[in-house]
Chains A and B, each alone.
Chain A
Amino acid sequence: MKIPMTEYLRIDLETEKWECRVCDHEIAPAEGNYKEGLLVHNRDPREIHPPILDPERYRFTFSPDPEWVRILEFCCPKCGTQVETEYAIPGHPPLWDMQVDLPALKAQWAARGTEALPDAGPAVIPGRGHSH
C-alpha cells in the first residue's frame, strides 16, 4: 500500500520508502528524513520576492533580507519537482519536518484498508468518511 503523505511524497508501506509521487523515484527510508534523499538549493529570497522599492535607495524594499533569511528549496533528484521549501536563518540546520512512526502507520492502514485510500490526499470528498 502506498500512502500519500504530502502533495509530492508518499510512503510505500511494503518497501518502507519515501517515494516521489510525480516520477515514482525512491527517495529515502520511510523512518528517516525524506529531505536526505532530495537535492537542496540555497535560494536568495530576493529572487522569489522581488524588490518593489528601489534597493539602491531604500533599506526596506518588500524583499526579505538575504543576510537574515534564505529559502532552502528541496527538489526530487529525478524529476526536479520542488517538494518542499524552508525559510531558514542562515546556517540553521534544516528541520526533520516529518518524522513518521512507521509501525503505527502500517497498523493504522491495515485496520483502515485500501478502501480508504482514494480519500487520502488533497480533497474533502463529500459523502465519504465524513458523517454527522
Chain B
Amino acid sequence: MNEMTIRGKLPSAEEITLIKKFLDDTTLFLGPDPEIMQNHDIMPRTAIEDAAIAQVSDAHTVAKIRDRIQAGCDEGYEMVEQMGAAPGAKWGDVITGVYSASGDLAIASAGGVLIFSALVHHPIKFIIKNWMNDPTVGVKEGDGFIHNDSRYGNVHNTDQSMIIPIFHKGKLVCWVASTVHEGENGAIEPGGMPSMAESPSDEGLKMSPFKVVENYQIKRDILTFLQNSVREPKLQYEDMKVKLFACLRIKQRIEETLNSDGPEALMATLRLTMENVRAEVKRRISEWPDMTVRTYIIQDSTLRENCVVKINCKLTKTGDRLIFDFRGSSPEFTNRATNTIVAGLKGMLAQVFLCYVWPDLPRGQAAFAPIEVITDPHSIVNCSYDAPNSQSLMSIFTGFTAGQHAVAKFLYSCPEKFTKVHAPTFNMINTFIWGGVSQHGETLGNLCADLNGMGAGATANRDGEHALAPIFATMADIGEQELNEEEVPFLQLVSKKMTRDAIAPGKYRGGQGYTMMVATKDSEQWGFMTTAQGAKIPPIQGLFGGYACGTYPLSKVKNVDVYDVLMNQPEKFRHSIEEIMNEQPFEEASYSTHHMGMGFEISKRGELFMISQGAGAGYGDLLERDPVSVIKDIEEGLMSPEVAARLYKVVFDPKTLAIDFDATEAARAAERQARIARSVPYAEFIKGWNQPKPPAHLQYFGCWGDDVGTLYMGSADVTRRGDQPRPNYMMHPKDVRIAELEARLEAVGAMGNEKK
C-alpha cells in the first residue's frame, strides 16, 4: 500500500489556548498525576513557611518541638500496633507520620515501615491539587481521606492509609497519616498481593485518595461499599477506625504544640527539619569518593514462571550529587505483577539510607530528596499505569539490594561512618500467605509475619544476625505463632528452626533463615500461596569476597495427613525439610519441589508445605573466618561438619570438634595456592567467558553487558530500546506446558487426527 500523507492546517496560538482551556475544564478522569508521581523532592518553601521561620528558627525550640511531634507519632504507631486487626499491624508493618501543609513527610514514627509514609506524600499532594478547591469534595476540619492505589503513591494496594488535615484557627497547618499493611483487598487471590494478577483489574480495590471521614466520623455508606469489596469486611472496618484514632491522637499532640508554641513554631519545625536533613545528606554524600559503582541483581521468576529478570544499577557520585541509574533493567511485564511504579523503588532506596547507612537522621522524606534516580520508561522499576504491580515487592526489594550493594563500596573508604559497612540483607518475603474459612467460620486472607524474619547481611566486623528483620522495617517483629494459631486453621509444625547448610559464607557469614512447615488442620476451605523469587538464582550479591545466600525452594508433601501420623506413629515425623524430603518417611505420600511463586492453592488436612527464610550475604574471604566461629556454627546446627570442612578448610576432630589450628593454617595456605592454580588471568578468562548476547537457553529480560540501551525481551532475538516502550506479554504457564506436551504427542504421532 502506498504511504499517504494528509496534513491538516496547524491551529493558531489562540486556538491552542482555547483547546488547552477546554481540556483543562473537562478532565474526564483524574488519574495518577505524573507531575506528582515522578517527583520525590520536597516542595519549595512557601511564603507562610518563610514567615514562620522568620519568627521561629532557634535550634533548641525546633529540636524540642520535633521531639514532641516525634513522640506523638510514636504514640500513634503504638496504638495502631496494639489495636490493629491486620497481622501486619500486630507485627509492626505500620507507620504514622506528620506532613507539611504542602504534603511533604517531615517526621515519621521511629518504629515501622518507613517506605509506607515516605510514599504518602503523593496522595496528599493529589488531595491538595485536586480536592482542596473542588466544590464537590473540599478539605475541611474533621475530614479523613483513604487511599491504597500504588499508582497514586504507595508500595502496593494491600497497604491502606488514613490521611487527615490539621487546621489551626481555620488554616491548614499540616497533615497526619497512618498506614497499615492490611492484607485483604478483594484481589483475584486472597491476602492482597496476587501474583496471578495479569492487569490492574485483577488487583482488587484501587482506591484513589477520597474522603471517607467527615466530622471525625467514618461514613457508613462508603465503609459498607469497601467492606463489600474485600474478603475481610470486619478487618476493613476495625482498621479504618484504628488508623483514624491514631491520627486523632497525633492531632491532639500537635494541638498541644499549637497552643503552647503557636502555628509558626510548628510549621517552622516541620520545614527546618526537612531542609536541615536535606542539607546534611548532601554534606555526607560529598564525603564519599567520586566514583561509579556497577552491580546487578537477578530476579529468577515472575512468580508465575522461572526466567531471568535483570535489575541493573549504576550508582554515580560526583561532588554532592548521587545518581542511581537503573536504566538497562528489565522491560515491564504487560501481564505479570512484579512491576513497580518508580516511586516505590525510590521509597525503598530511601530505606537503604535511613535504615542502614544514616539511621541517626530524622526519619522523613528529606533524606532521599536530593538523591537522583534515572530509569527507563515502562520498565520493571518504572512501570506504566496499565501494568499490574501487586507484586511490586519483587522489584523494589531487588532494587533495594542493588542500592545496598553499591552503596557499601562507597562507604568503606569514608572516614566518617554512621554504621558498619554492610553486606546485602536477604530481600525476599519467604513466608506463607493464607486464606479461606477459619475454624471459627470467618473468611480470612492474610499472611504469616515470618516475612519479617529475613537474615541480615554480615558487616565489616561481625556475622549477620539470623532472622533479624525485614529490609523494609528494621524494628519489626516476627510474631508469636501460637497466638496466630488461635485465629487460623493451620499449625506451623516446625517454626523458627534454622535451615542447616542454607548458608552465605564469608570471613563474616550472613545471618541465616529458618524453616517453616505448615499444615492445615481445622478447615476444608483453606489454602496457601508463596510469593518469592530466588529458587534458581540467589536474589542478592556477596560483598568484598563474601558469598551471597543459596536458593530457596518450596517443598510439598501430599497424600498424607501428618496429624494422623503425629497421633498414631509420631516417631515417623522429622523436623527438617532435609530429612522429610530425603528420607520420605511417610509411605504413599508424594514429595515434590517448586519455585517460590505458588499461586493460591487449597490444601487438604495434614499436607505439608515447607519453606525457609533466607540468609543475608557474607562479607570477606571465607578463608579468613575464625576457625572457632566455624565450629560454633556447626554446634549451633547452622552448617554440617562436612560442608564446614570442605568450604572453610578448618581441620577438626569429627567427634569432639576440637580444632587443629596448625593443620587448619596449612590447609588454608594450600587452598590459596589451589585458587591461584585453578584461576586464570582476567584477560584470558573473558575471552572464553564473555558472550555477545544472553544465552539461548534462558528467557532473559534486560540489558546485556555495557549496552544498557538495548533491552532483551525473553530471547536473544527480541529487543526494545530502553527509551521506547513495547508490550511484553508472557504466555500462561499452563499453555506453555500444554504446548510442550502436545509437541511430544505430535512427535510420537499420538495427537490423532485432531482438527486444527
B12 within 8 A of A: no
A52-B499, A93-B690 known; A108-B704 Cβ under 8 A: no
A129 within 8 A of B: yes
With both chains docked as a complex, state the minimum distance between the C-beta of A95 and any C-beta of chain B, in angstroms.
5
Q: Which residue of A lies closest to B308 (CB)?
A: A89
Q: B705: which A residues are within 8 A, CB to CB?
A: 92-93
Q: A129: which B residues are within 8 A, CB to CB?
A: 415-417
B445 within 8 A of A: no
Q: A128: which B residues are within 8 A, CB to CB?
A: 415
With both chains docked as a complex, state the minimum distance between the C-beta of A68 and any C-beta of chain B, in angstroms.
5
B619 within 8 A of A: yes
Q: Are B460 and A7 in contact (CB under 8 A)?
A: yes
Which of B292, B295, B549 has a CB less than 8 Å from the CB of A99? B292
Question: Within residues 60 to 85 of chain A, which ones have a CB less than 8 A from any CB in chain B?
Answer: 60-65, 67-69, 71, 73-75, 77, 79-85
With both chains docked as a complex, state the minimum distance between the C-beta of A129 and any C-beta of chain B, in angstroms.
4
Q: Are B553 and A62 in contact (CB under 8 A)?
A: yes
B175 within 8 A of A: no
A14 within 8 A of B: no
Residue in A41, A89, A121 whose Cβ sees the most chain B Cβ within 10 Å? A89
Which of B310, B460, B542, B673 has a CB less than 8 Å from the CB of A85? B542
Q: Are B412 and A87 in contact (CB under 8 A)?
A: no
Question: Within residues 541 to 573 of chain B, which ones have a CB less than 8 A from any CB in chain A?
Answer: 541-542, 544-555
Q: Are A112 and B415 in contact (CB under 8 A)?
A: yes
Q: Are A81 and B672 in contact (CB under 8 A)?
A: yes
A29 within 8 A of B: no
CA distance A39 to B672 in the complex (A): 12
B318 within 8 A of A: yes
A110 within 8 A of B: no
- In the complex, how many residues of chain B place their beta carbon closer than 8 angstroms to a beta carbon of chain A? 94
Q: Are B700 and A82 in contact (CB under 8 A)?
A: no
Q: Which residue of B lies closest to A3 (CB)?
A: B413
CA distance A80 to B643 in the complex (A): 21
With both chains docked as a complex, state the minimum distance between the C-beta of B301 and any C-beta of chain A, in angstroms.
11
CA distance A108 to B318 in the complex (A): 12
Question: Within residues 84 to 132 of chain A, which ones have a CB less than 8 A from any CB in chain B?
Answer: 84-87, 89-101, 104-105, 108, 112, 116-117, 119-124, 128-130, 132
With both chains docked as a complex, state the minimum distance between the C-beta of A43 and any C-beta of chain B, in angstroms.
9
Q: B419: which A residues are within 8 A, CB to CB?
A: 124
CA distance A94 to B698 in the complex (A): 18
Question: Within residues 709 to 756 of chain B, which ones have a CB less than 8 A from any CB in chain A?
Answer: none
Which of B418, B549, B623, B679 has a CB less than 8 Å from the CB of A40? B679
CA distance A104 to B545 in the complex (A): 26
Q: Are B673 and A80 in contact (CB under 8 A)?
A: yes
- Contact pattern, B 499-519, Cβ under 8 Å of A = 1, otherwise 0: 111110101000000000000
A39-B680, A69-B298, A112-B415 known; A8-B621 Cβ under 8 A: yes
Residue in A68, A71, A101, A116 whose Cβ sees the most chain B Cβ within 10 Å? A68
Which of B289, B554, B623, B689 has a CB less than 8 Å from the CB of A108? B289
Residue in A64, A73, A81 whose Cβ sees the most chain B Cβ within 10 Å? A64
B683 within 8 A of A: yes
With both chains docked as a complex, state the minimum distance between the C-beta of A12 and any C-beta of chain B, in angstroms.
13
B686 within 8 A of A: yes
A7-B460, A130-B417 known; A49-B550 Cβ under 8 A: yes
A24 within 8 A of B: no
Q: Which residue of B lies closest to A112 (CB)?
A: B415
Q: Are A53 and B291 in contact (CB under 8 A)?
A: no
A60-B595, A62-B553 known; A52-B578 Cβ under 8 A: yes
B675 within 8 A of A: yes
Q: Are B676 and A89 in contact (CB under 8 A)?
A: no
Which of A5, A75, A90, A94 has a CB less than 8 Å from the CB of B679? A75
Which of A36, A85, A98 has a CB less than 8 Å from the CB of B291? A98
With both chains docked as a complex, state the minimum distance between the C-beta of B410 and any C-beta of chain A, in angstroms.
9
A8-B544, A73-B675, A122-B460 known; A40-B680 Cβ under 8 A: yes
Q: Which residue of B lies closest to A75 (CB)?
A: B675
Q: Are A93 and B581 in contact (CB under 8 A)?
A: no
Q: A81: which B residues are within 8 A, CB to CB?
A: 545, 621, 623-624, 672
Q: Are A42 and B544 in contact (CB under 8 A)?
A: no
Q: Are B290 and A108 in contact (CB under 8 A)?
A: yes
A87-B541, A96-B294, A97-B293 known; A79-B672 Cβ under 8 A: yes
Q: Are B409 and A99 in contact (CB under 8 A)?
A: no
Q: B622: which A residues are within 8 A, CB to CB?
A: 82
Question: Within residues 273 to 303 of chain B, which ones have a CB less than 8 A from any CB in chain A?
Answer: 289-296, 298, 300
B112 within 8 A of A: no
Q: Are B291 and A101 in contact (CB under 8 A)?
A: yes
Q: Are A35 and B682 in contact (CB under 8 A)?
A: yes
Q: Are B551 and A8 in contact (CB under 8 A)?
A: no
B454 within 8 A of A: no
Q: A59: which B residues are within 8 A, CB to CB?
A: 593
A83-B545, A124-B419 known; A53-B289 Cβ under 8 A: no
With both chains docked as a complex, state the minimum distance between the C-beta of B532 and any C-beta of chain A, in angstroms.
12
CA distance A105 to B289 in the complex (A): 6
Q: Are B679 and A73 in contact (CB under 8 A)?
A: yes
Q: A45: which B residues are within 8 A, CB to CB?
A: 538, 550
Q: Are B544 and A124 in contact (CB under 8 A)?
A: no
B620 within 8 A of A: yes
A8-B621, A40-B682, A75-B679 known; A62-B308 Cβ under 8 A: no
- Contact pattern, B 682-699, Cβ under 8 Å of A = 1, otherwise 0: 110110011100110110
Q: Are B694 and A89 in contact (CB under 8 A)?
A: yes
Q: Are A97 and B294 in contact (CB under 8 A)?
A: yes
CA distance A65 to B709 in the complex (A): 28
With both chains docked as a complex, state the minimum distance between the C-beta of B720 and any C-beta of chain A, in angstroms.
19
Q: Which residue of A lies closest to B681 (CB)?
A: A39
Q: Which residues of A contact B (CB under 8 A)?
A: 3-8, 35-42, 45, 48-50, 52-54, 57-65, 67-69, 71, 73-75, 77, 79-87, 89-101, 104-105, 108, 112, 116-117, 119-124, 128-130, 132
Q: Which 7 A-B pairs have the closest CB atoms?
A: A49-B550, A80-B672, A91-B691, A60-B553, A39-B679, A122-B460, A104-B290
